[in-house]
Chain A
């Protein structure tokens, strides 16, 4: 009787908060286990050219560390690594860095295989020489930002101040919370300084958008990878098709040619123009039957119905 009571009371003595904590940890471990299978399945099914590889993961780590290095805590290497790990909790930031890595790799291969200059493709040269001072200035600034980007990608690093504003804000907020927990000093003044140093308009993507807007209706000139380069091509197509730029970049990978074809169709490009792009990115695929007859709306309806587009656009 006595023994029974003891067992009973020790069972009751377990704190509800502890139980909750254990439950939470189990859920996290389950999630980790559950994500193993799809990744393995993907790697096994695409032996030659998987979307996820050691190289990709090493690159991503480099990018996150690069971003973490911009914060005042970077004097401490261990702290930088620790905060880089905190940053990987942000799914949107992972998507962005993954797309940036893919963009860097394709830009590199376009330069090696087709001689397209990573920073100074034909169109950018032309824009730098434009009579319109505003356009010339923007093009020059873009060229500089683009060479930094290409160089950063070669060295596997990324720049905090090049992030889109939502991700910049998320990274800065995450740092403030993390630094506060770690008891770092002067967080507020550091945050103010970081925020005031940021300008979307001078980020690489902001400069491209500025150029696209300045040139206005003539975004067709951006739709040839060979002349515009991947960076401008992707932004112009994203704008015309209503797809997120990151998805356009991802669809330029060899395995994603159907998505690229649909995206180009959704931005009102002819089948001929679409096939021309496959000489540079993606892979020659047989276009769907009567693809010429399709309207841009039909293509964009199919894209909009895909779960990936829906998720990406809900993330802005």
Chain B
């Protein structure tokens, strides 16, 4: 966009949830460059505030707004008119201007960079004037060994636990030279950058220092649920999952970073590629989990615990875990009332896994805006059913749906065809069963029946 280019008036339209549904080209571009989608929630912070305010208060507003699109400062005078009760707003922006950003002066730029480093640092420490460590703090497990070293030798020098990559430099170095150097830390295979920032007035000798360790490679926290899957004595679960999970997690988290433009503005095509990579990675991870479960259920002597499981509670939790997915398709998941509890004999983790599988499938194959109902029933065999309003299954499909690798002709959506097979095996291992009732075109109802707990 040419410097200082002007448009006469730029229009836009939002709906009752502050989603921008129509926009003239300059506004549409600004929306995308601010990380939003079209249609999608208004992503320009200043406009979002005003649109929301105007809609909630039913007031016509007219103000100047300013935004930054990654390269240029955008400003204009926006008039926002609510269309009607509980509806969206009409936007008209006059005096639209785009100007190249005036560069920040060096001081505020370096303050901002310092602030970013503070936010992303994996290790923060305070040092005294002689560069001895006073306090040190980290959340990353690969740095715990280094923390231990420091804890064992109080008032040690920073260089006792951080090793400079460039060995030409001989200690002791002036602190100004240390700031920004590359370093390695025992116990961590990541590359580190040291930030050393003086404390006290700039004109005086520092009375202490703030030391940060910043790495370009993110630290991947190990997921607890992963740990629990890996407890199973199986090849995929123990060996393969462990080695495959970490690189896949890294692929997902890095491509998410690119997709959300956290590292800076990017053309849309590239963020789309990143989004593809992230979703492919997620599918791969889900497949890996399925394979680990498959091996677990097929292993000799596979057994489940027989505890008391409240089916009502399990259903509520499964629906809660999937709430983001269901609300993305505007699907409501109705769960049974909290009381009375329906207690089954089984293993809570497996029951939850089955319910997540059933509700997840229901969400995947139901039309947008439809409803899914989860109901429970008591009796000698207690049961929980998940009923959807999807396309349903023919009798022939119902026979095949629980078979291993059965995809019912669906390809390319990343499913493994293992979910229902594994769920049924889990159900059988708990002396229960998993069945389906359906008619093509009339939705499907999957029911997990389990023995009643004698104690209830």
Contacts and interface: CB of A to CB of B under 8 A. Distances in A.
A10 B237 CA distance: 74
A168 B62 contact: no
A200 interface: yes
Contacts of B63: 200, 206, 209
Contact of A201 (B53, B57, B75, B79): B79
A192 B82 CA distance: 12
Contacts of A198: 59-60
A134 B94 contact: yes
Contact of A195 (B57, B94, B95): B57
Nearest to B81: A199
Interface string A128-165: 00000010000000000000000000000000000001
Nearest to B65: A213
Contacts of B76: 213
Given A134-B94, A213-B95, A214-B94, A199 B60 contact: yes
Contacts of B53: 165
A214 B76 CA distance: 9
B453 to A, nearest CB: 47
A213 B79 CA distance: 12
A284 interface: no
B58 A192 contact: yes
A307 interface: no
Contact of B77 (A168, A196, A213): A213
Q: Determine the interface band of chain B, counting residues with CB < 8 A from chain A.
A: 10 to 19
Contacts of B57: 165, 169, 195
The SS class assigned to the A binding surface is helix
A165 B63 CA distance: 11
Interface in B165-217: none
Contacts of A3: none
A216 B60 contact: no
Interface string B68-110: 0000000111010100010000000011010000000000000
A242 interface: no
B64 interface: yes
Contacts of B59: 165, 168-169, 195, 198, 200
Contact of B62 (A134, A200, A212, A239): A200
Contacts of A239: 64
A236 to B, nearest CB: 12
A210 interface: yes
A196 B58 contact: yes
Contacts of A168: 59
A192 B86 CA distance: 12
A100 B370 CA distance: 55
A214 B60 contact: no
Interface size band for A: 20 to 34
Given A213-B76, A213-B77, A216-B97, A195 B58 contact: yes
Contact of B60 (A201, A212, A213): A201
B50 to A, nearest CB: 10
Contacts of A134: 94
A216 B58 contact: no
B61 interface: yes
Contacts of A202: 62
Contacts of B62: 199-202, 206, 209-210
Nearest to B92: A201
A243 B367 CA distance: 53
B94 A165 contact: no
Contacts of B77: 209-210, 213-214
Given A201-B79, A214-B95, A216-B95, A209 B64 contact: yes
Nearest to B79: A201
A201 B64 CA distance: 11
A216 B61 CA distance: 20
Q: Which of B76, B77, B94 has the most CB of A within 10 A?
A: B77
B87 to A, nearest CB: 13
Interface string A206-243: 10011011101000000000000000000000010000
A213 B61 contact: no
Contacts of B58: 192, 195-196
A130 B79 CA distance: 22
Contacts of B61: 165, 200-201
Contacts of A192: 58, 85
Nearest to A211: B77
Interface string B246-289: 00000000000000000000000000000000000000000000
A61 B383 CA distance: 71
A200 B94 contact: no
A199 B59 CA distance: 7
A206 B61 CA distance: 9
Nearest to A207: B62
Nearest to A202: B62
Contacts of B94: 134, 210, 213-214
B161 to A, nearest CB: 40
A199 B60 CA distance: 5
B95 A200 contact: no
A209 B57 CA distance: 21
Nearest to A213: B77
A187 to B, nearest CB: 15
Closest 10 CB pairs of A and B: A201-B62, A213-B77, A199-B60, A195-B58, A200-B62, A200-B61, A206-B62, A213-B95, A213-B64, A169-B57
Interface of B: 53, 57-64, 75-77, 79, 81, 85, 94-95, 97
25 contacts: A165-B57, A165-B59, A169-B57, A169-B59, A192-B58, A195-B58, A195-B59, A196-B58, A198-B60, A199-B62, A200-B61, A200-B62, A200-B63, A201-B60, A206-B62, A209-B62, A209-B63, A210-B77, A210-B94, A212-B64, A213-B75, A213-B94, A214-B94, A214-B95, A216-B95
Given A201-B61, A239-B64, 10 more contacts: A165-B53, A169-B59, A192-B58, A192-B85, A195-B58, A198-B59, A199-B81, A210-B62, A213-B77, A214-B95
